[in-house]
Structure 1
């Protein structure tokens, strides 16, 4: 479960926001990966090297970093979101392709490309591989939202043995089903609007709205993926971002707050555990600022990629806030 949006500020800067919803887990941390960083491709065991520095939220396991989302020094962002029951991967290495595990696609995108136009050429050489002995890859079911400083946004999905790229004109993404299904489903909500309906008569009975918000009646409010997609699309495309980047960043978090999953509200049938929103993030593509807040600490943190040494020799990890922080006013 995840929800993502894109926004444009009054300064013509581009924001990408997301909630990361998952069962309780540890080992999350914002990480900075420098240029020329060497790592091992977990499909081919070949040594690889980053072209661009990357800043984003990482999940660590088996001495490996998996980027949930991030932005690189050129202003390209990539987010991965769950796509249960629809994702399919190749199970064989192809020598004529770039072979990448599904959980490493976001890092591959961010560390190698500066624009969506460049990426589109790179995708022609991509083979997303889940080898039979890689249980993590076999159980990974995801799709990706990629955005750049031109304002373009695309969705990448691999289903039924085919890689599909969608131009994301609505500016949001959630989970299953596939992106094209969500777009068709939006037609069912064509009546929802931000304006108040006018008074009307049914027979001799006068009907009139008795509170604000009557235009939004019918907008879904549950935590299912289709409902979150619809509501995110409505909010994203009707919000007034205000003046300046700070106002737009605040509105980005306000939109994401509509989809925060409190602990215990959504159970997972297989694990008998509960999904919850682990963190909410907002990335500015032009400034490469990474804003985020966690389920345990609602104070917004910010990390500036350009304040760091992008030619450092190793990873830099930033502490993940796990305790409540409050501002005392007396």
Structure 2
């Protein structure tokens, strides 16, 4: 989660069968499934920006400036939501990516500002499930796009199809070294291993970070269970933004406020904040899923894994 505005998120469990007020529709919306992720109580209720539900369906909202295009009016017989409410609704109702496809047919995202920031938040979403399906949801001027994500990576603008096409510009990237070359009898060799990644962009634009993450995800050695979180943390090291190196025109600094990891098999959410890199976790239990109200967890500060109870 890379942003200049302090989101102040923390692990939150939303129990089953909740009703949410909506800024777009006075009728609000309902959820049936429990989910856990990073969120914050905005006064009118909790809003989450990433998480995983009790069916192992997970998702995250990412900034989509200059590309998102929402409706100006609510539609009858549709679920009318503000952009920042979409993830709650999906996590609270979708069993899988295929199930989400049916739900999205009746989704209408409306141009409604979030009071916290005073603006309409331009978002798109990445979702995945325990069956290995991964998709991207974008609402652009030409309509709703719900796309298969073959590389399992998404970032910010431009649109997802553009990022996939841009991968064609980096076919030379590989984990092994490039071979020696011969120039009319003069032989050249790379200076040590790692030449296979020469040309990989190193800046903090979303387009470059997409390339780096796709490369890291493709070639980093995988792991199971808790060890997988460690692997993912190393992958995301390649795109973490320290404070001060990515400034906006107004002088504010975008930085990696936290990293979130969703375990679809064990229904566990891991959160790693910027300030101390501690990884804390919350697992959906029967008591949490059947609670009457959302449950919020403070983040620990010791350098270890913690089960928040």
TM-score (norm 1): 0.87
> More displaced, 37-46 or 98-107?
37-46
CA shift, 1:326, in A, is 4.6
- CA 1:215/1:25 → structure 2, altered by over 3 Å: closer, same or farther? same
CA offsets per residue over residues 152-207 of structure 1, 9 Å max, x none?
00000011151101100011001110000001100000011111112121122111
| Superposed CA RMSD | 1.9
- Matched residue pairs, number? 304
Structure 1: how far apart are the matches of 2:4 and 2:225? 32
Which residue does 1:184 correspond to in 2? 165
Following superposition, the deviation at residue 255 of structure 1 comes to 0.4
Following the alignment from structure 1 to structure 2, what is the Cα–Cα distance between the partners of residues 302 and 133? 28
Q: Structure 2 CA distance, aligned partners of 1:262 and 1:161?
A: 36
Give 1 or 2: higher strand fraction.
1
Answering whether residue 13 of structure 2 is matched by residue 28 of structure 1, we say no
SS in 2 for 1:282: strand
Q: Within 5 Å, give how 1:81-96 maps onto structure 2.
A: 81-96=62-77
TM-score, length-scaled by structure 2: 0.93
Asked whether 1:254 is paired with 2:254, we answer no
**Structure 1, unpaired ranges of 5+:** 1-19
Pair 1:314 & 2:293 matched? yes
Residue 256 (structure 2) aligned to one of 277, 299, 305? 277
Gaps of 5+ in 2: 305-309
2:121 to 119, 136, 140: 140
Moved over 3 A (4+): 131-138
Q: Which residue of 1 aligns with 2:143?
A: 162
Q: How many angstroms does 1:136 deviate by?
A: 5.5
| 1:219 matches 2:212 | no
Q: Which residue of 1 aligns with 2:307?
A: none
- Selected match of 1:292 from 257, 271, 278: 271
Structure of greater relative contact order (alpha carbons < 8 Å, 6+ residues apart)? 1
1:229 correspondence with 2:210: yes
